Amino acid sequence: MSPRVSVLMAVHDGEPFLHETLRSVAAQSLSDFEFVVVDDASSDATLAILAQAAATDPRLRIIQQDRNLGLTRALNLGLRAATAPYVARIDADDTFLPERLERQLCFLEDNRDHVAVACGHHLVDGSGQILATTREPLDDWQVRWLGGFNPPAPHPTYFFRRLRDDGTANLYDESFRTAQDFDFWSRLALQGRTAVLPEVLVRYRRHAGAITVTKRREQAANCRRTGEANLARRLPAALVEQLQPLLALFAYEAAADRTTIRAAVAGCDAMLAHDLAQAPSAFHRNWVRRTAAGLLADAVLSRGSGLRNPSATAAFLYHARGHLAPLMRAVAGNPGRARKVLRNIGRF
């Protein structure tokens, strides 16, 4: 009989945090799972650690590779080997909280029109210190709106149906070496509804060796590629074209100056006019005003390095003056996000 959930991990030289990760999976309140781990030609003690754990826990299945495939291909290898109807992602430097599998499984079983669900998370550093906590619930409308720019949550929070309606497996697009999670979620969303739970169920680690740090420029380009495809699915082509200055700033591809700021604000305003008319409730209208204001500030002041240039900062305050009140509400509601944005200034 197949397990209820396949936990999926691909790892290359994951020794530093692997013991902690394995313990967190073994300690789940839901015990009916398999743990499919692809060892992607590790050169450290990763394989030995996995073998030791598998000797005492038959739920752990190791797929050993002699040649490094890279994360995307290794994940697909694991997905093809998985047998459960649901898949929960984890990386070798992250950990589950005890009810992670149970809570996300219950959600998808209770909401058959949903194909995937993410969850809240603690962002932790290399020593395990909590840097920030995200616990905002997001429904399908909110997730689709965010999909023009970012994935709704970190990859290790993903929990999804393994098979499509036609019985074929959901797989990653192997043309993405980075940001494969954003593309994967976006294609899942073509099959049905998605959501993010507010419960904090994952500790997501950021450290010097993380892929999102060492390959940030490629990551940003791939995120723009996926985001624009998502925007094209929900917005008129002329509006997507008007958003190009904002998207260039958001992808670290342009510097903030008076011209780019004015154009970015104009594009954001046009998008808001469209989306406010489409929003399903007053709650969603308020949410999209705050979120758009935060995104605009992030693109101009942080990613476009506008805060490093007094004239650019002044131009933002003038042209984006209609966004300042919702921006203040966004900062008050999520100060950790604001601190993260400020830390990102000038990272390229």
Residue 342 pLDDT greater than 70, yes or no: no
According to the model, what pLDDT value does residue 345 have?
Answer: 52
**Residue 127: phi, psi to the nearest 5?**
-95, 0
Q: pLDDT exceeding 70 applies to what percent of the chain?
A: 94
The helices-and-strands tally (H runs, E runs) of the chain is 15, 9
Domain end point (choices 149, 183, 213): 213
Average pLDDT over residues 80-94: 98
**Predicted structure pTM score:** 0.94
Give Cα separations from 94 to 135, 201, 267, 320 (angstroms). 17, 11, 37, 38
According to the model, what pLDDT value does residue 216 have?
Answer: 80
According to the model, what pLDDT value does residue 339 have?
Answer: 59
**Residue 86: phi, psi to the nearest 5?**
-125, 150
According to the model, what pLDDT value does residue 76 have?
Answer: 99
pLDDT digits (tens, 9 = 90+) for 34-60: 999 999 999 999 999 999 999 999 999
Residue 289 pLDDT greater than 60, yes or no: yes
7 token code pair: 């936990």
Same structural domain for residues 245 and 143? no
Residue 223 maps to a domain: no
Domain end point (choices 213, 243, 270): 213
Identity of the residue numbered 20: E
Identity of the residue numbered 122: H
Residue 336 pLDDT greater than 90, yes or no: no
pLDDT digits (tens, 9 = 90+) for 123-153: 999 999 999 999 999 999 999 999 999 999 9
Same structural domain for residues 159 and 273? no
Q: Which CATH number characterizes residue 50's domain? A: 3.90.550.10
Q: 74-83, 110-119, 215-224, 254-263 — which is least confidently predicted? A: 215-224
What mean pLDDT value characterizes the chain?
95
Same structural domain for residues 240 and 162? no
Domain that holds residue 282: 235-343
Tell which residue, 193, 216, 88, has the closest CA to residue 140: 193
What is the total count of domains within the chain? Answer: 2
**Residue 64: phi, psi to the nearest 5?**
-95, 130
175: Cβ–Cβ under 8 A, 6 or more apart, which residues? Answer: none
Same structural domain for residues 51 and 121? yes
